[in-house]
Amino acid sequence: MRISHLFTKTSKSAPADEVAKNAQLLIRAGFVYKEMAGAYAYLPLGIRVIEKIKHIVREEMNAIDSNELIMTSLQRREIWEKTGRWNDDVVDVWFKTRLKDDTEVGLGWSHEEPIVEMLKQYVHSYKDLPISLYQFQTKMRNELRAKSGIMRGREFIMKDMYSFHTSADDLEAYYNRTIEAYKRVYDRLGIGADTYVTFASGGAFTKFSHEFQTICDAGEDVIYLHRGKNIAVNEEVIDDAVRELGISRDELEQVKTAEVGNIFNFGSQKAEEMGLDFVDADDSAHPVFMGSYGIGVTRVMGVIAEKLSDDKGLVWPEAIAPANVYLVSIGKDDAIGHADELYDELQAKGIEVLYDDRDVRPGEKFSDSELIGIPHRVTVSDRLIAENQYEYTERVSGETILLTREQLLAKLS
Ligand code: ATP
Ligand code: MG
């Protein structure tokens, strides 16, 4: 992509009302646009990051035999009344609206109930199970406070997955496979080492749910961590967990974290409430066992922007960077011709390039490349071309070296 074709521009400052570092950086660098508190548009650079996160999540969900679909944002009131969750005192984040004929509908904040209702049409026999389904969907939540930038949106992208089973054992086995799949996701996203499987509230069948909590100063959660035993507990269940797990509170370290994922074992409760049954081999009917598994796609992007940035700007890990290489040309015809040619060659090799082909000062190109946070920068200048050399700078370390064309291509491939 040529920067001259991008409609976004970098800026020195973020909107005065934006207090979160992740959003400040993402707005300044042209990844997101703030529509209002908790609602952000994703611009061309931002979309590339989102799509790469989704790609990783999609590969790992497909690898555990889940199938992708897209549910609707408009939801029926009757479905949520079956479990008592239409009630605003029970679910305090509902956005609700009305159709022209006055029918009340909800805007999806979760899809647990609608997916169970849908499956009543497709699941009848034990032969129809197990099933796992997932989607990437924009969830709508009327959050009280939305001060954490894209880490807490009033609309945000979630990957939500739901699995359905004939027995508690089969559900538990799948639940554990999902934990491993989630670990691979966070590893590939570059935050695996700082992300802990954490005991949390909200299990129905089991006492605890499991959250994936990433150490992050800007996070809104607090967990207690036993690094030696690799045990993490959300503060909301610390008293219960200390009792159940036989650990003592003063062995634990308190850390600030952001919840990047959450998985639940509902047992057969949801199916009982909603009437999703299957007929077993012996002709007896039973409620279906269900698990629910979320990843906050846009929150993950915000957490990575917070954690991996420095005083110069964003620092994307290779796996989700909007491009691999930031190409800068300095000088007149010679440099531009060489840079054009290198741009084509790199792209032909499948290396994604953000090409700063603007007619602006070199200093501006360099500082923008740092703000945008592309992993590798290559500078083509009149002076260096004469010596068959290219300047290469690594974003994360800031180190600059001179390379021949052959060395450069080897490094980037
Ligand atoms: P929180 O406690 O942060 O409000 P939650 O427990 O209500 O989150 P879940 O319903 O478990 O969230 O949603 C699954 C995942 O979606 C969360 O683990 C989180 O990563 C993400 N998420 C939830 N709410 C938001 C939000 N308002 N903005 C961005 N991501 C969110
Ligand atoms: Mg949660």
Q: How confident is the model over 76-108, as pLDDT tens digits?
A: 999 999 999 999 999 999 999 999 999 999 999
Instruction: Collect all residues with Cβ–Cβ distance below 8 Å to 340 and sequence separation of at least 6.
Output: 357
Q: What are phi and psi of 176, to 5 degrees?
A: -70, -35
> In sequence order, what are the beta bridge partners of 164?
131, 290
Which pLDDT band, with edges at 50, 70 and 90, does 207 fall under? confident
Is pTM beyond 0.95 here?
Answer: yes
Mean pLDDT across the stretch 188-204?
92
Looking at the predicted structure, is the pLDDT value of residue 321 above 90? yes
Contact 215, 259 (CB under 8 A): no
Domains of the chain: 8-310 (3.30.930.10), 325-412 (3.40.50.800)
Pocket of ligand 1 (CB under 6 A): 141, 143, 152-153, 156, 158, 259-262, 294, 296, 298-299
Mean pLDDT across the stretch 389-413?
96
What is the C-alpha end-to-end distance of the chain, expressed in Å? 18
The CA 287 to ligand 1 mean position distance, Å, reads: 28
> In sequence order, what are the beta bridge partners of 159?
136, 295
Q: How confident is the model over 115-171, as pLDDT tens digits?
A: 999 999 999 999 999 999 999 999 999 999 999 999 999 999 999 999 999 999 999
Mean pLDDT across the stretch 10-33?
95
Contact 66, 132 (CB under 8 A): yes
CA nearest ligand 1 atom 24, residue:
152
Looking at the predicted structure, is the pLDDT value of residue 335 above 90? no
The CA 68 to ligand 1 mean position distance, Å, reads: 20
Q: How far apart are CA 149 and CA 303, in angstroms?
A: 10
- Reduced to 3 states, what is the DSSP secondary structure of residue 218? coil
Q: How far apart are CA 345 and CA 348, in angstroms?
A: 5
Mean pLDDT across the stretch 379-388?
92
Q: How confident is the model over 27-82, as pLDDT tens digits?
A: 999 999 999 999 999 999 999 999 999 999 999 999 999 999 999 999 999 999 99
Q: How far apart are CA 375 and CA 393, in angstroms?
A: 9
- Best residue among 299, 300, 301, 306 to mutate for probing ligand 1's pocket (most ligand atoms within 8 Å of CB) is 299
Which pLDDT band, with edges at 50, 70 and 90, does 331 fall under? confident
Q: Which is it for strands 353-356 and 325-330: parallel, antiparallel or unpaired?
A: parallel
CA nearest ligand 1 atom 19, residue:
296
Q: How far apart are CA 411 and CA 100, in angstroms?
A: 60
Contact 367, 312 (CB under 8 A): yes
| pLDDT in the model for residue 332 | 80
Instruction: Collect all residues with Cβ–Cβ distance below 8 Å to 237 and sequence separation of at least 6.
Output: 199, 200, 201, 208
